[in-house]
Amino acid sequence: MKVYEYLTSYNIKPSVQRIAIMDYLLKHKTHPCIDEIYLALSKDIPTLSKTTVYNTLKLFVEHGAAKMLTIDERNACFDGDLSRHAHFQCKVCGRIYDIPLEEKRDEEAESMIQGGFTVEEAHRYYKGVCPRCAAGNAQKS
């Protein structure tokens, strides 16, 4: 699906800047923060501002076209992958990885729903040391 159609499917009016930001999110699975997106796109779109990137990402999240990750207390990161998955952040390099989740029912959410709650979002975050950093530390020992 093209980015233009992707945005319209979420009732977002496509603009050059919105298309560029969503295209970046969908192509870069690095869970970028606002600064990373701004720095990557501002070369090709000189009129782009950090405020525009922030407001656009906020719009995407409000319309359900992207997710905001708050795994890192210092920076909000964004994810264009809307499939059900968890995230792992390496405490050494800071990289955020997608972790597959089984498609089985979420028992905790089911319990809350039965208790009268409406669950709209669930986030699963893990923190530790990634294999790459663990291998690097093992080589230094």
Cα–Cα distance, 76 to 29 (Å, whole number): 15
Distance from the first to the final alpha carbon of the chain: 48
DSSP structural state of residue 39: H
For the chain, domains (ranges, CATH) are 1-81 (1.10.10.10), 83-141 (3.30.1490.190)
Q: Taking all residues of the chain, what is their mean pLDDT, rounded to a whole number?
A: 89
E strands present in 22-122: 67-69, 77-79, 85-90, 96-100
Per-residue model confidence as pLDDT tens digits over 10-28: 999 999 999 999 999 999 9
Q: 19-67, pLDDT tens digit by residue?
A: 999 999 999 988 999 999 999 999 999 999 999 999 999 999 999 999 9
